[in-house]
Amino acid sequence: MGIKRRSFLKLLGVTGITLAIGDSARAATSDSENDVEFTGILYDSTRCVGCRTCEYECATAHKLPEPSEKIPPVRKTDETCNTVVNTFQTDKGEVFIKRQCMHCNEPACAAACLTKAMHKTKSGPVTWDGDKCMGCRYCMVSCPFDSPKFEYHSANPKIQKCDMCAERMKTEKSPACVFNCPNDALLYGKRRDLIREARRRIYEKPELYYDHIYGEHEAGGTGWLYLSPVPFEQLGMNTSLQQSSYPELTKGFLYSVPSVFVLVPTLLLGIHQATKNNHLNHEEEEDEK
């Protein structure tokens, strides 16, 4: 009987710890836009001339190989380039679109990361910390934009993606792509101001713009915001993303953890006590205890 009481106390201890951990899980995902003001970048496709200066400057800033001159019109970012400018033929003629990590308000990659290597900083960028990352690639599985890229051919692989020049921002005022854009297609600032600016542009020239700011609500809102002359699906953008954030999808499961830890052991102990007499009826059968 003494063992039983002891095991019960042990279980109480375990449930206590779990409840505590469960609480911190809640706190970790609550950094939504309502609590802090994130910075972001507004990309206006109508102003982009497809010169790819941003690609070159990005590569220089992140010490990545220089992009090649001859390229297919549509590419994806990979472990050697954090941003690409794609070209699409649309009913409004040739339209360019710059792609990179979107820096979600509530990033799936950061919620997925079990070491907090992927991290949404207070100011807005989603950054990667090589001292914490174990290379499980769960961020890649989770990201709705497929932004994180992995160095498969390295013995010490890194995750590569746009970090909004987090390192550069310590000394400069804007990220490399924004600073060097020759045609003001990129605008860096507080996310709320950028949305206001984007609305103003659509309002003033409704014939020029497709009436939607991509990134305002997609995946719960992203740091990068897009304006375009044509519907975004014509530019290879995923328009079937949910409006709420992706970490929201696992919240229900994670919240059930503390209650399972309280209820299941109690239930099991109860059933064990209730069926204990089965043992007494079959004394002759050998028994662990």
Q: Quote the CA–CA distance of 218 and 14 in Å, as a whole number.
A: 39
Q: Quote the CA–CA distance of 112 and 150 in Å, as a whole number.
A: 16
CB of 164 to another protein, least distance (A): 20
3-state secondary structure at position 210: coil
Nearer to another protein, 21 or 36 (CB): 21
The residue count for the chain: 289
DSSP, residue by residue, 254-266: HHHHHHHHHHHHH
Q: How far is CA 95 from CA 18, 50, 91, 98, 227, in A?
A: 52, 8, 9, 10, 11
Stretch that binds another protein, among 21-29, 37-45, 97-105, 209-217 (CB under 8 A): 21-29
DSSP state of 233: G
CB of 5 to another protein, least distance (A): 11
Chain positions 76 to 115 lying near another protein, rule: CB under 8 A, are 76, 78-79, 108, 110-115
CB of 148 to another protein, least distance (A): 9
CB of 262 to another protein, least distance (A): 10
116 binds another protein (CB under 8 A): yes
User: Using N-to-C axis directions, what is the helix angle for 2-28 and 248-275, rounded to 10°?
Assistant: 170
**Cβ(121)–Cβ(127) below 8 Å:** yes
Nearest to 194 by CA among 82, 37, 5, 24: 37
35 binds another protein (CB under 8 A): no
Q: Out of 67, 157, 189, 231, which residue is the one contacting another protein (CB under 8 A)?
A: 157
Nearer to another protein, 36 or 260 (CB): 260
# of chain residues touching another protein (CB under 8 A):
77
210 binds another protein (CB under 8 A): no
Residue matched to tokens 């609500």: 217
Nearer to another protein, 38 or 188 (CB): 38
Nearer to another protein, 34 or 278 (CB): 278
Nearer to another protein, 34 or 154 (CB): 154
24 binds another protein (CB under 8 A): yes
Chain positions 249 to 278 lying near another protein, rule: CB under 8 A, are 249-250, 252-254, 257, 260-261, 264-265, 268-269, 271-272, 275-276, 278
Q: Out of 12, 28, 36, 208, which residue is the one contacting another protein (CB under 8 A)?
A: 28
**Cβ(140)–Cβ(150) below 8 Å:** yes
Q: Out of 14, 49, 74, 208, which residue is the one contacting another protein (CB under 8 A)?
A: 14
Reading the block at residue 23, the tokens are 């609480």
CB of 130 to another protein, least distance (A): 8
287 binds another protein (CB under 8 A): yes
Q: Which residues contact 204 (CB under 8 A, 6 or more apart)?
A: none
Q: Out of 60, 89, 183, 238, which residue is the one contacting another protein (CB under 8 A)?
A: 238
Phi then psi for 267, rounded to 5 degrees? -60, -45
**C-alpha angle 108/249/31, rounded to 5°?**
55
Q: Out of 146, 193, 197, 216, which residue is the one contacting another protein (CB under 8 A)?
A: 146
